[in-house]
Amino acid sequence: MAPKKSYSLETELVFSKSADQYNASVPPLYQSATFKQDSLSNMGEYDYTRSGNPTRTYLQNHLAKIMKAKTTFAVSSGMGCLDVITRLLKPGDEVIAGDDLYGGTNRLLTYLHNKGDIIAQHFDTTNTELIKSKINSKTRMIFLESPTNPLIKVVDVKSIANAAHEINPNVIVVFDNTMMSPIFMTPLDLGVDIQYESATKYLNGHHDIMAGVIATRSDSLAEQVYNVINSTGCGLSPFDCWLLSRGLRTLAIRVERQQQNCIKIAEFLKNIGFKVRYPGLKDHPQFELHNSMCKGYGAVLSFETGSIKLSERIVENTEIFGIAVSFGCVNSLISMPCKMSHASIDAKTREERDFPEDLIRLCIGIENVDDLIDDLTKALLRSGAVRVNERDELFNVIGVQPKL
Ligand SMILES: Cc1ncc(COP(=O)(O)O)c(C=O)c1O
Ligand SMILES: N[C@@H](CCSC[C@H](N)C(=O)O)C(=O)O
């Protein structure tokens, strides 16, 4: 059998060839802001950590392999990525964005729009024909997420990217891959120009740093992005780069376990009558489309209860599930997006975008799944959302069947 030309992702995540002078098996931490020059005329590879640092270079090269990018950049947060990317826009540029993008993304785009820097319009990106019809010669960027956080809407990334480049070759298609991570999705293969991820989530996986990663295959975009990062100073600090490199090594095993747990929890909630939004459920309206783009489903699901008060009681009655924003961490979290992660989208806009106020989001970790289901069961019983029937089965008291 001919040897394989490249390693699989799981192997790439943990394998690295050491270029260290002592052959350290773990990339060393260069916790230094400055680097001495050999002479006045010979600056060397690094001079100042804002411009470059060996620990950041190691991380970025490693991420480039994992994300199948030519170049990646590690910055101080996921929102930092968006800040860098939007600085590539010029005054008056038009931007098309999803109507269910993460709340912070919506906030920054709205800020730039209200300031008059850009013209941002939000549409339902599950409607591919609608998005195509909105692209014109003034469109400069398209912002997509799939599945969206937290409504789990799936976007036909390839069709939109292809159409965008055909209609206007200057369009930069930007994709936020935080929900899938490189384990389940390679958006650059689907034709997006810039991919970014909040590395605070799955990539690091331990909720001990804030970080973001920008990836591209275009030299010209990479040059512009680097210029902004060096100019603004948002490059990820050496210690956080080092922690992210460490977290990355267990990415595959973490997300596989998280997903395995999430599938069981999605089925558990569905079986007791909740309408669950999770791309891994066969009744998700875009199950096939999601499968055509991704190798998995991730570990975030949301469900409605039909009552804000009931949702509040459920959220406040779990023990293992911590009440916290964010996702992708090894421990499980529960939240109400309207009150927490997506509170920066005003109530009127949320209503216009069919964003249910009673929505509960679960972000599943690597704990024992039976313990997680037990914790949810207790919370559902205590809150009065479910009862036990004479056959000792749980049944949904409310019987809500919200539309997906
Ligand atoms: C989908 C998505 N993109 C981007 C971000 C922003 O990332 P960060 O919190 O690292 O700035 C978040 C959450 O914060 C998110 O959920
Ligand atoms: N107070 C924060 C909320 C962060 S939400 C983090 C994460 N993306 C999630 O979806 O939970 C803010 O105002 O940004």
Backbone angles phi, psi at 301, to 5 degrees: -135, 160
CA distance 262 to 369: 8
What is the dihedral sign for C-alpha 384, 390, 396, 399? Answer: negative
pLDDT value, residue 352: 87
pLDDT score for 353 = 83
Does residue 104's CB lie within 6 angstroms of at least one atom of ligand 2? yes
Which residue lies with its CA nearest to atom 10 of ligand 1?
78
Strands (E), 146-278: 172-176, 194-198, 212-216, 276-277
Is 201 an annotated catalytic residue?
A: yes
| pLDDT at site 400 | 44
Report the separation in Å between the CA atom of 104 and the middle of ligand 1, taken as the mean of its atom positions: 7
Ligand 2 pocket, mutate which of 210, 340, 363 (most atoms under 8 A from CB): 340
Distance CA 101, CA 220 (A): 26
Question: Which residues on adjacent β-strands are paired with residue 121?
Answer: 96
Instruction: Give the burial class of 181: count Cβ atoms within 10 A of its Cβ; 0-12 exposed, 13-18 middle, 19 or more buried.
Output: buried
- Of 322, 363, 359, the C-alpha closest to 337 is 359
pLDDT of residue 404: 36
Q: Which residues pair with 194 in a beta bridge?
A: 174, 216
Residue among 140, 153, 201, 217 flagged as catalytic: 201
- pTM for the model: 0.95
Q: Under a CB-based contact definition with an 8 Å cutoff, are residues 199 and 235 in contact?
A: no
ipTM of the complex: 0.98
Mutational pocket test of ligand 2: of 323, 325, 329, 362, the residue with most ligand atoms within 8 Å of the beta carbon: 325
| Chunked mean pLDDT (size 10), the chain, 404 residues | 80 87 92 96 94 97 97 98 98 95 95 97 96 96 96 97 97 98 98 98 98 98 98 98 98 98 97 94 97 98 95 97 97 96 89 91 98 97 90 73 38
Helices 308-315 and 369-383, packing angle to 10 deg: 130
User: DSSP secondary-structure letter at 236?
Assistant: P
| For ligand 2, mutation pick of 81, 108, 326 (most atoms within 8 Å of CB) | 326
Contact between 373 and 264 under an 8 Å Cβ cutoff? The reply is yes
Tokens 């295959």 belong to which residue? 217
Is residue 149 within 6 Å of ligand 1 at its C-beta?
A: yes
Cβ-proximal residues to 342 (8 Å cutoff; 6+ apart), any chain:
102, 103, 150, 350, 355
Q: Are 275 and 367 in contact (CB under 8 A)?
A: no
Residues paired with residue 302 on neighbouring β-strands, in sequence order: 277, 361
The ligand with the least distance to the CA atom of 344 is 2
283 given a catalytic annotation: no
Type and span of the H or E element at 99: none
For residue 339, the one-letter residue type is K
| Contact 100 CB / ligand 1 (< 6 Å) | no
Paired tokens of 264: 């069981």
String of DSSP letters for 377-393? HHHHHHHTSEEE-TTS-
Beta strands, E only, 246-366: 276-277, 300-303, 322-323, 333-335, 360-363
